[in-house]
Amino acid sequence: MLTHVRPFAAVTGALVLAASLTACGGSTAASDEKVVTVYSADGLKGEAGDGWYDKVFEDFEKQTGIKVKYVEGGSGEMVQRALREKSNTQADVLVTLPPFIQQAGSKGLLQAYAPQGSDRVDGADKAADGTWTSVVNNYFGFVHNKKELPTAPRTWEELLDRKYENRLQYSTPGVAGDGTAVLIKAMHDFGGREPAMEYLKKLQANNVGPSSSTSKLAPKVDKGELLVANGDVQMNFAQSKSMPNLGIWFPAKGNGKPTTFALPYAAGLVNEAPHAENGRKLLDFLLSEGAQRQVSAVGGGFPAREDVRPTDANALALAKLLEGVEVFEPDWADIDANLTAYVDAWKSATGS
């Protein structure tokens, strides 16, 4: 899996049904119905109704009169659900992390639409064919319990220590976006699939077991049930406001630098969406300057638009987190083509 380093730029599981879905297949739904259905990876909706989604969906509904119906789960779960419903499409907008947004595109789940403001999004953060655009930039990371583990581990190798036995967990690759990111980072840091799988096989001795949703792990770390878990900067930074024991860190390999990579929330208009026009309006709204300025202040993430450069306290703290961390860019085309093989290799190595 080829990768190359690019400089940092601050641009960057059970299903949770937030509202009952009506039978809104294309043959039965009125095209002018004031509703839009969003299938999304978890992380942008607040635990206490105070997340970026909570704010922008409320503002969108007030401005347009269009009600947002929201379904969330792991990135892979959302794509698989949309795929199962392909003959009777329910979702209008799909939001997932890489490589699942690329997977959705390659499976014909998305239609081309360039939202207003997408011209301000870096080319690496949107599809060349216009089927998806990042709406919140983000980075992969880990969390530790600051009370029981005041100093975060520095390296992958430290996690093999027996003190982490049954106190470490990462979400399931192939199901959760952040879980898949564990594979991607390990393959980068260890120099390929085989050495990464050899390491993850050893790590399995300390791993609690599978989790379809990464967002469920941070509360366990905060409470001290776990010492370490995977996550992502945006989600964990937002969670840390109500979970004071969470600390964000980035593993290094041996004596190397800590590394991470961009893991944006990318949104696309679903092919044959029952409320496509409403979906377009929501995508425009998510990339509007006002919504983008709230990404850091409210959501704890990084704006997708390069022309939005917030200076709020969260934005400054987020930039500081990434100081000294090497940001690499995965070969997403390779990962999209070989994801099944990588996940199968992980299952074989770990006995999962």
pLDDT in tens, 172-230: 999 889 999 999 999 999 999 999 999 999 999 999 999 988 999 999 999 999 999 99
Res 5: pLDDT: 46
Res 19: pLDDT: 39
- Residue 22 DSSP symbol: P
Instruction: Average the pLDDT over each of 41-50, 202-211, 287-296 and give the range with the smallest value.
Output: 41-50
Beta bridge partners of 231: 141
**In the numeric block, which tokens belong to residue 81?**
């659900």
Query: Which band of pLDDT confidence, cut at 50, 70 and 90, is reported for residue 31?
Result: low
pLDDT for residue 268 is more than 50:
yes
Query: Which band of pLDDT confidence, cut at 50, 70 and 90, is reported for residue 74?
Result: confident
Instruction: Report how far residue 212's alpha carbon sits from residue 260's, in angstroms, rounded to the nearest whole number.
Output: 22
Res 316: pLDDT: 96
Instruction: Report how far residue 76's alpha carbon sits from residue 174's, in angstroms, rounded to the nearest whole number.
Output: 6
**In the numeric block, which tokens belong to residue 212?**
């379809």
Instruction: Report how far residue 187's alpha carbon sits from residue 195's, in angstroms, rounded to the nearest whole number.
Output: 7
pLDDT for residue 329 is more than 80:
yes
**In the numeric block, which tokens belong to residue 219?**
């509360």
**In the numeric block, which tokens belong to residue 14?**
């059970």
Res 24: pLDDT: 40
- The predicted-structure confidence for 107-119, as pLDDT tens digits, reads as follows 999 999 999 999 9
16: Cα separation from own chain's centroid: 16
Beta bridge partners of 302: 137
Residue range 302-310: average pLDDT? 97
pLDDT for residue 2 is more than 90:
no
Q: What angle do CA 257, 342, 123 make, to 5 degrees?
A: 65
Res 33: pLDDT: 87
Instruction: Report how far residue 342's alpha carbon sits from residue 200's, in angstroms, rounded to the nearest whole number.
Output: 12
